[in-house]
Every structure is written in structure tokens, then in C-alpha cells.
Structure 1
Amino acid sequence: MKKLLIPIIFLLALPLTFGFRQDYTEPVQINWETYYKAKADDNSPFFALTAMRWQYSYESSVYRNRVIIKLKNEVTIDKNRSWVKWDKIKNPQVSADLLHHEQGHVNIQYILLSEAERVLKNRNYSVKNYKAQISQLANEVSSYFDTMQRNYDEETEHGSNHKMQARWDQIIRDKTEESRAASLAEAGK
């Protein structure tokens, strides 16, 4: 049996926080006090930054010329690299809006976790080339969600465009439901 661990780090402008594994049921609900321990970057134009890591590993075996993988899949937030500029969010409404925006980042990563689980587990891999195939799929999933995170920040103007924030809130809800439905359908096979 072989084991492979591939860390992928996401750094997002503005805060975000959580840690959950493949046995998750809901995204972690974030708060400022628990997840933002690093010293703020005074040179950054942003009010916060969240460092996140998606990791997956797997054990593989071959049975009847078929690769079977046992996947471990998790997302964590590096509290010691995530920061917030406390002096910029003294107003309770600004704090609530920013935290809401960051919860959106958490929710996007929750979707990533679910999709990575579904995509990586439910493939037929070549016995000769499965490591490269798994790596390529993981990179594709990661790239897709990295782009989604950047688009989320750009289109919502890091949470300050409330109309676009509401639009993205709906997109995230829809994607979460799609991902859950796909996972349930795969589990029912």
C-alpha cells in the first residue's frame, strides 16, 4: 500500500477559518477570536487574510487489475498565519459584514472538500499511471476552486459590494446543494 500526501495552500485576502475532514456535515462557523492569531500585515490593503490548506492523502491497492484508493481529505486554517486588522473593524456592522464575507470563503472550501472527495474517489484509475492521474485530478479541482475564491473576492469587492455579495451567497448555497446531491447520488450507487 502506498501513501501520498499533497498539501495545497490557499491564501485569501480577507479572513476565513475552519478545519474539517471528509466526515464533515456542515462547514465550520467562523469567528474572529478563534481563527485569527497572526500579526496583521500593515502593508496589506486588506482588512484580513486567511491562510488555508487543503490536504489529501490516500492508500492504494490493486484488486483484479483495478486500483482502489482509501482517501483522506481535509481542509484546515492556519491560525498562526491568518490575521485581521482589528483597528479597521471597530464598527459592529463592518465586522459582521466582513465575517459574513469570510464565511463565504469557508463555505467555498467546504464545497471543495466535498467535490474533491467525490471526484477523487469515484474514478477508474490505470494501474500503471494512477498516481499521476490522481495528482492531475487533484490539481484540476484545486485550480477550479482557487479561481472561484479569487472571483468571489473580485466580484464582491472583498465583501464591500453588498449586491454582489448577496448574489454570491446564492451561488454558494446552490453549489453546496449540488455538491451534496452529487455526493448522495454517488453514495447510493
Structure 2
Amino acid sequence: MKWAQREFNANGSAYAIRPAEERDAEELSRLRLQADGETENLDREPGEDFMDRDDFVRLIELDTESSRSLFLVAEADGKLAGFSRCQGSHLKRSEHKVDFGIMILQPYWGIGIGRNLLQESIRWADSNGIAKIALSVVESNVTAIRLYEKMGFSVEGVLKNDKLLSGGRYCNTIVMGRINGERQGC
């Protein structure tokens, strides 16, 4: 899939958003491991479901070949600061939608990387006939939920006690979606 790099400057911080490339695979593996240890907003504990360089190479290749998937990275200070993915499906009943996920290293929170990764993903989805973007977010991640709502997402459901966090605390997962245009339901 063709996607041009875009440059951003916010609060004195410059960064670029571009499609993931094979050369990013090793750094993506390290980034994912680091980010998992920085917050409980993600699905994994550090080291769980580890993806090495080869895993990321395969993922990047699959997403690059698919017209229904998009893998973007954010690059700041000469290194990767985060990434997002829209993962589509080859199934007829699900080909109209993608699942969105995002991960940003903590030192880069608050400078608009998440907002711009999401905006670029929405722009791509809208221009490629994707009718729905779905995502899930831990209810304690209020900042992300507010951003998703500002970007046109609405709550579609709540998964009660869905995540087990540190100290034995359970947290609900909020399921959200953004529908492009009016669609007729069942």
C-alpha cells in the first residue's frame, strides 16, 4: 500500500509518520517490549507474546501487501517513538472494517503523536472504502477515550473485569467504533 510520509511539529517536537518498513523490524521489537513495561494500558505484561525482528518483518510484509491493513510508525529524534496498525480481514462479512491499535513510548506522550497516527489511519480508511474502525481501550485510559470520542468514535460496549492489572485489580475494557457514513443495520 502506498502512503507518503508526513511531517509534524507540535510543542517544539518534530516527528514524522510513515509506513512501517522492513528496516524498522528490529527497533519495533524493542519498542513494543519497552512500551509494555511503561503502562498498564496495553494488553500485555513485558515479554508476553514477544515478537522478534522476523515476526515484525512478516507483519510488515503482510500489511504492505494488503489493501485492508495499514502499519504506520512515528519517528522522532532519529528513532521510532510509536506505531499504529489498522488490521483488516479477508472474510467477506468483515472486510468493511479494521481493528485499530496504537502504542507510543512514554517519553513521547502528549505531543500529538497518538492523535496524528489516528487521524492518518482515519484518512486512509475513509479513502479506501473502510466503513468501520473498531478498537478497545482500558477504561482507566481516560485520555485515549477522550481523544477517540473527539475523533468520532463512540462506545459500543463494555467488557466487565476484562483485564487483570497489578495488585489483582480488575479493569473494564471499553469497545469503541467509528462508522464512516450512515449504514443500515440488520
TM-score (norm 2): 0.29
Q: Higher strand share goes to which structure?
A: 2
Q: Higher helix share goes to which structure?
A: 1
| Higher relative contact order structure (alpha carbons within 8 Å, sequence separation ≥ 6) | 1
